[in-house]
Chains A and B, each alone.
Chain A
Amino acid sequence: MTTMLCPTRGGKESQPNQDFAIQYAKQHDADLLFLYVSDLRLISRAGPPIVVDIEEELSEVGDFMLTMAQERAEKAGVTAGTAVRSGVFSDVLREIIRENKIHTVILGESHEKTGVATSEYLQHLSEDLGRELNVEFIVVRQGELVFRSKGEE
């Protein structure tokens, strides 16, 4: 059984992309791993030292979002797991791919065109990591396929 990875930042706008990943995993009889990555560098610059354990707070947010996605995947008959991490997105992605022997990564473009999930960034990331790790990368926008790269092929 292969495992596909779907990094997501949750929310309604991510659902079409998550649905694409669910259907794609179903077609290929694969398991799905939903991933949420928080990058605390953006927050720690904001002001005073953060007395709240913001990493834990955000991991709870991520866990909640991924559980929503997981429930929808399981309703569709796809076995899905979740992983919440903190760090630089590309580094975390590389780690998770290696740790879980990921076969395919499905990246969704951000609806708001903010943060890490811009079209250009995702295509660069897909090409670089796809070559480096020999993993298939699929970029989707609002549930529609935008770009596909297959590692060294």
Chain B
Amino acid sequence: MGFFRNSMKTSPRNLRDLCMAGLILCMFILVSNLIVQPGHAMRAGEFIISGQLQDSLGQPVENASISAAAHDGGKLLGETESRSDGTWSLTLDAVPRGGVDITVERAHFQPRSVSIDQTVLADLGSANIYRVDTIELERRIDVSFWVASLVFLIVLLLIAFEFLHSATAALAGISTIFLVSYIGGAYSPSLKILTFDQAIEYIDWKVVFLLIGMMIIIAILEDTGIFQWMAFQAYRISRGRNWLLVVILMAITSIASALLDNFTTMLLMVPISLQIGMALGIDPLALIIPEVLASNVAGITTLVGTPTNILIGAYAGIGFNDFLVNQTIGVIIALIVMGAYVLFHFRRELIKNAEGISPHLYEKLRENARIENVGSLWKALVVFVLVFVGFILGEHVDLVPAVSALAGATILLIWLNPDIHQMIKAVDWTTLVFFMALFMLVGAIQEVGLISTVAGWMAQVVGNNLPLGVFLIIFGVGTLSTFVANIPLAASMLPIVRVLTGSIPGAGNLILYYALSMGAAMGGNGFLIGGEANLVTAGITEQTEYPITFVKFLKVGLPVTYLTLAVGFIWLLIRF
């Protein structure tokens, strides 16, 4: 603790710098959200040809080059590129005589040509717009497909088996893609996987800036000691009823995880829970394991509760309110089922009569769980609530969550005046770099068609059966998440889920995205290696006589995983 204690008296210049930094960040986000729609006023005699491109799975194809050439003589009449929704339009100076040949070219797709006959154009009469039928482009599986797929698989393996840090692995992956694209591509066009400009477009800046804003807010809030204080109050309120203590601690952890991130939540909860467990004379793991299980699941009730929700929300346009409304009840039911299971699992520890502790030890426990800085706490809570109001109300005025989070972080920086260097250090740049590299890497496999190939297989298996689709996503992703890091898993599943959402009748309500959210989060409880919160909890408990071993965690974590996945599956079918 100590951002406030060590904070220096800020000069007006420092304050101005802080304000400027915040304003610049906010303006950056605002500007980045302004979508400039190119307008075009039609002139007399002009002729417009428009259309739409899609792939074999019905997904729009963007950035394809479309050119129109005169049927007679092949004179180039105009060129354009398809937009993000696959639509395109070409403005020609006049209605071409003798027909037009439209050619569509896009890397990693077979080129297509469409001819517009002279008689069709003549029949348009005074109309000066012609709409071409939707053009379907076929994927071209070439060497770039195999290279990008192999690189992606290697990155996943490096992360899963911890040969490299996840950020290093993702950076190594995208660097390899770039090297192959630029050096290999100079010799063979089929090795052009992804250009740097294309890669940058795949980075979701709303995710990056939302994370930055929330990391600063969390760093300030956690420094106040509020969660340790709440845990101590749970110890007091439970008055030796250990089962009640477990329930209250799970509730506190759940709320904290929904508002903060799981990793920080467990860093705050484990040390005080160790002390409470020892004070009661029970195995502290009977308190700590339920806490970590709850933290992994409860985070998905809000947009900012887990990184995977932030990813899913930004990708699918699912807002803060949507997660709250559609997942909260399901998560509460899952937590109740989980609570019942862990109480049963730890029943021998929990029925023990609580041992008393000396007044001196009680005082020490109370002191260790004190609120560090009441003034800062109130200010942080006020801003925290305002940020969440921004999340909730912002959806009605197109205020993206990143702006609310950044504005809140900036207000806190100005109001509380913490050491700005400490605050910048508190931003998890490693995770941000990982996210950016991962976005680009997933972009690469999306470009070469791996995503659409996998999505095509899944669409064939699922057919029109929506419950089967939900089942496959929630249990498939849940099972994979027990041992694969859920962030890269969710990031690579998102385009697949988008395809399935478009192809399965009834999936337009985004149910499959919620299934992805639940699967990625709940699966993290299966094994000790399933989540960062699990690992940090194990790391802390290893410092005492109560280490969480792989098997100890597995015995309770794996049954809880499948119980909660089953609850999540049933809930989604009921809700949608």
Measured in the bound complex, the distance between the Cα atoms of B41 and A16 in whole Å is 88
A48 neighbours in B (Cβ, 8 Å) = 263, 428, 430-431, 532
B278 neighbours in A (Cβ, 8 Å) = 10-11, 64-65, 68
* Residue pair A112, B549 in contact (C-beta under 8 Å): yes
Q: Produce 1/0 per residue, A42-71, CB < 8 A to B.
A: 110111111111101110110111011001
* Residue pair B544, A46 in contact (C-beta under 8 Å): no
* Residue pair B542, A42 in contact (C-beta under 8 Å): yes
Minimal beta-carbon separation of B301 from chain A (angstroms)? 21
Instruction: Please tell me if A114 contacts chain B, counting CB pairs below 8 Å.
Output: yes
Instruction: Please tell me if A124 contacts chain B, counting CB pairs below 8 Å.
Output: no
Measured in the bound complex, the distance between the Cα atoms of B278 and A46 in whole Å is 25
* Residue pair A64, B364 in contact (C-beta under 8 Å): yes
A110 neighbours in B (Cβ, 8 Å) = 545
Among candidates A51, A56, A57, A64, residue contacting B365 with C-beta atoms closer than 8 Å: A64
B425 neighbours in A (Cβ, 8 Å) = 49, 51
* Residue pair A57, B271 in contact (C-beta under 8 Å): yes
Instruction: Please tell me if A128 contacts chain B, counting CB pairs below 8 Å.
Output: no
Q: Produce 1/0 per residue, B457-487, CB < 8 A to A.
A: 0000000000000000000000000000000
Q: Produce 1/0 per residue, B258-274, CB < 8 A to A.
A: 00000110011001001
CB closest chain-B residue, reference A44: B539
B218 neighbours in A (Cβ, 8 Å) = 51
Number of residue pairs spanning A and B whose beta carbons lie under 8 angstroms apart: 111
Instruction: Please tell me if B414 contacts chain A, counting CB pairs below 8 Å.
Output: no
Measured in the bound complex, the distance between the Cα atoms of B281 and A65 in whole Å is 12
CB closest chain-A residue, reference B357: A68
A58 neighbours in B (Cβ, 8 Å) = 271, 540, 543
Instruction: Please tell me if B222 contacts chain A, counting CB pairs below 8 Å.
Output: yes
Measured in the bound complex, the distance between the Cα atoms of B1 and A58 in whole Å is 12
* Residue pair B361, A10 in contact (C-beta under 8 Å): no
Minimal beta-carbon separation of A26 from chain B (angstroms)? 20
Measured in the bound complex, the distance between the Cα atoms of B364 and A13 in whole Å is 22
Minimal beta-carbon separation of A124 from chain B (angstroms)? 20
Instruction: Please tell me if B87 contacts chain A, counting CB pairs below 8 Å.
Output: no
Minimal beta-carbon separation of A5 from chain B (angstroms)? 18
Measured in the bound complex, the distance between the Cα atoms of B274 and A71 in whole Å is 18
* Residue pair B430, A51 in contact (C-beta under 8 Å): no
Can you give 7 contacting A-B residue pairs, CB < 8 Å?
A: A9-B543, A47-B536, A51-B222, A52-B264, A54-B267, A63-B368, A71-B361
Residues of A within 8 A of B (CB): 9-14, 38-39, 42-43, 45-54, 56-58, 60-61, 63-65, 67-68, 71, 110-112, 114-115
The 10 A-B residue pairs whose C-beta atoms are closest, nearest first, are A11-B545, A47-B532, A43-B539, A57-B271, A46-B536, A48-B428, A52-B267, A46-B535, A51-B426, A60-B368
Residues of B within 8 A of A (CB): 1-2, 215, 218-219, 222, 263-264, 267-268, 271, 274-275, 278-279, 281, 283-284, 357-358, 360-361, 364-365, 368, 425-426, 428-431, 532, 535-536, 538-540, 542-547, 549
